[in-house]
Amino acid sequence: MIPQDIIRRKRDGERLAREDIAAFIGAMARNEIAEAQVGAFAMACWFRGMTPDETVALTLAMRDSGEVLSWQEIGRPVADKHSTGGIGDNVSLMLAPIAAACGLAVPMISGRGLGHTGGTLDKLESIPGYAIMQDAALFRRTVKEVGCAIIGQTAALAPADKRLYAIRDVTATVDSVPLITASILSKKLAAGLETLTLDVKIGNGAFMTTAEEAQELAQSLVDVANGAGVRTAALMTDMNQPLADAAGNAVEMRNCVDFLKGLKGGTRLETVVLAFAAEMLVQSGLAISPADGELQAVRALQSGRAAEIFGRMVHALGGPADFVERSEAYLPRAPVEIAVTAERDGWLSACNARDIGMSVIELGGGRRLPTDAIDHRVGFDRIVPLGTWLQRGDRIAMVHAADQASGEKAALDLAGNYRLSVTPPGLPPVIVKRVDKSA
């Protein structure tokens, strides 16, 4: 295999054979190819694109660059969910234990915050002792005994993705749909899944802001995952406002515990969580229809079984044994709280969700640099959903800040990110569309 020949052929628009892609990615993972060559390959893919077969080959090569987990002894269907990222999107925290309570095994490998979006791992690190980086033995034991485990990507899983992503990040090739697809799916496939459900966000708080962009990415992910042998479907969901009524780390963990205790019924968040639980159960053959799957999920919540499984998972991965029962004793709380209020009467009609995410970062709840430490205490909670009628002085949200100055700035910024109108807004449904594999 001569790297420059593969680069030239992709640059000239030729279709690469599976063997060529596997050889290139294998050599890249072994550091036998220079960074300049990897960057040139990524740029050629960005300009020329990749066929579905090429993208499948790239995904499998990246998956096979490291360890691929097997769950043959687990005795239950193995499933997972992935979100492309949003604001107040803590669905995974509740979905994993709900799915486990319904009979699935959920080995969930999650990520940190990316850009303006929050990260599941950052939220979990609000819990004292919870260790997101675990050895394979404890990960497997937790999934087997508890039903689910949420951890970070280990160096053994899809190492080629780590190197390729780092180079894409500095060569302006992040926004290539085939490369995004392979990056997301290589890690998920390395986890040994049988089925996968994807949450592709759309709106001003998502990476894909238009319906066309979201549809293209969703279809690519679904087709490639199915082509790689994992039964997969996607739901496109609205991200034009925070999904939960909290955005941050510890504040979203509080939201999670409240949800598992049944205190978030009737919300957009509940709609999304139950829809994804139903989709996972139908895909895995444990429910005969979405309605049946949703009913099973509701029962798992109402019985307390999902909350029990979440608590056992937290303890198995290093957290307190009584976290669900005494979460307020463990989760850090910011010293400054400031109410953001409506300046006049009106309908809460729109917001800039992306800038709300950026405000969390400004407060210290996210990273500007990969080496930055996170202040898990800060963020927003009690966020009022769009479509609510407010009178002057009514609360839109609460700011949680480390000091008065940063809190006042965040309150001012948040107020500026919302718009009031004299007429009720027309809002999109939270579940926009389901995407299945192409015919």
Average pLDDT, the chain: 92
Tell me which of 55, 92, 117, 120 is the catalytic residue.
Answer: 120
Residue 187 appears among annotated catalytic residues: yes
Residue 81 appears among annotated catalytic residues: yes
Tell me which of 116, 188, 312, 354 is the catalytic residue.
Answer: 188
* pLDDT given for residue 343 in this prediction: 93
Ranking 102-111, 260-269, 319-328 by mean pLDDT, the lowest is 102-111
Do residues 321 and 361 share a domain? no
- For 104, the domain range is 79-327
Q: With respect to residue 310, please indicate whether it lies within any of the assigned structural domains.
A: yes
pLDDT above 60 for 417: yes
Q: With respect to residue 136, please indicate whether it lies within any of the assigned structural domains.
A: yes
Q: Which of 336, 312, 40 is nearest to 164 (CA)?
A: 40
Tell me which of 10, 116, 123, 168 is the catalytic residue.
Answer: 168
Whether the Cβ atoms of residue 331 and residue 124 lie closer than 8 Å to each other:
no
Do residues 98 and 202 share a domain? yes
pLDDT tens per residue across span 144-157: 999 999 988 777 88
* pLDDT given for residue 188 in this prediction: 87
* pLDDT given for residue 118 in this prediction: 64
pLDDT tens per residue across span 74-98: 889 999 999 888 899 999 999 999 9
Total domains in the fold of the chain: 3
Query: Rounded distance, CA 29 to CA 8, Å?
Result: 20
pLDDT tens per residue across span 61-73: 999 998 888 888 8
Do residues 319 and 338 share a domain? no
User: The domain that contains 40 carries what CATH number?
Assistant: 1.20.970.10
Do residues 20 and 111 share a domain? no
| Bridge partners, residue 381, by sequence | 246, 398
Query: Rounded distance, CA 65 to CA 297, Å?
Result: 36
Tell me which of 55, 59, 183, 349 is the catalytic residue.
Answer: 183
Sign of CA dihedral 49, 50, 51, 52: negative
Do residues 261 and 354 share a domain? no
Residue 83 appears among annotated catalytic residues: yes
Residue range 392-411: mean pLDDT, rounded:
96
Q: With respect to residue 64, please indicate whether it lies within any of the assigned structural domains.
A: no
Do residues 272 and 347 share a domain? no
| Bridge partners, residue 434, by sequence | 235
Do residues 323 and 338 share a domain? no
Do residues 133 and 155 share a domain? yes
Do residues 128 and 233 share a domain? yes
Do residues 316 and 413 share a domain? no
Do residues 293 and 397 share a domain? no
Query: Rounded distance, CA 182 to CA 220, Å?
Result: 10
Q: With respect to residue 431, please indicate whether it lies within any of the assigned structural domains.
A: no
User: The domain that contains 272 carries what CATH number?
Assistant: 3.40.1030.10
pLDDT tens per residue across span 347-389: 999 999 999 998 998 898 877 666 678 899 999 999 999 999 9
Q: With respect to residue 433, please indicate whether it lies within any of the assigned structural domains.
A: no
| Bridge partners, residue 150, by sequence | 108
pTM of the model: 0.90
Q: With respect to residue 70, please indicate whether it lies within any of the assigned structural domains.
A: no
Tell me which of 55, 59, 83, 84 is the catalytic residue.
Answer: 83
398 contact partners, CB below 8 Å, separation of at least 6? 337, 338, 339, 340, 380, 381, 382
pLDDT tens per residue across span 292-302: 999 999 999 99
Q: With respect to residue 364, please indicate whether it lies within any of the assigned structural domains.
A: yes
Residue 70 appears among annotated catalytic residues: no
Sign of CA dihedral 422, 428, 429, 431: negative
Residue 237 appears among annotated catalytic residues: no
Residue 120 appears among annotated catalytic residues: yes
pLDDT above 60 for 113: no
Q: Where among 327, 358, 376 does a domain terminate?
A: 327
Tell me which of 80, 89, 238, 413 is the catalytic residue.
Answer: 80
* pLDDT given for residue 162 in this prediction: 82
Residue 168 appears among annotated catalytic residues: yes
pLDDT tens per residue across span 192-241: 899 999 999 999 988 788 889 899 999 999 999 998 889 999 999 999 99
Tell me which of 187, 201, 268, 377 is the catalytic residue.
Answer: 187
Tell me which of 63, 82, 112, 163 is the catalytic residue.
Answer: 82
Tell me which of 10, 63, 76, 81 is the catalytic residue.
Answer: 81
* pLDDT given for residue 166 in this prediction: 79
Do residues 295 and 350 share a domain? no
Q: With respect to residue 411, please indicate whether it lies within any of the assigned structural domains.
A: yes
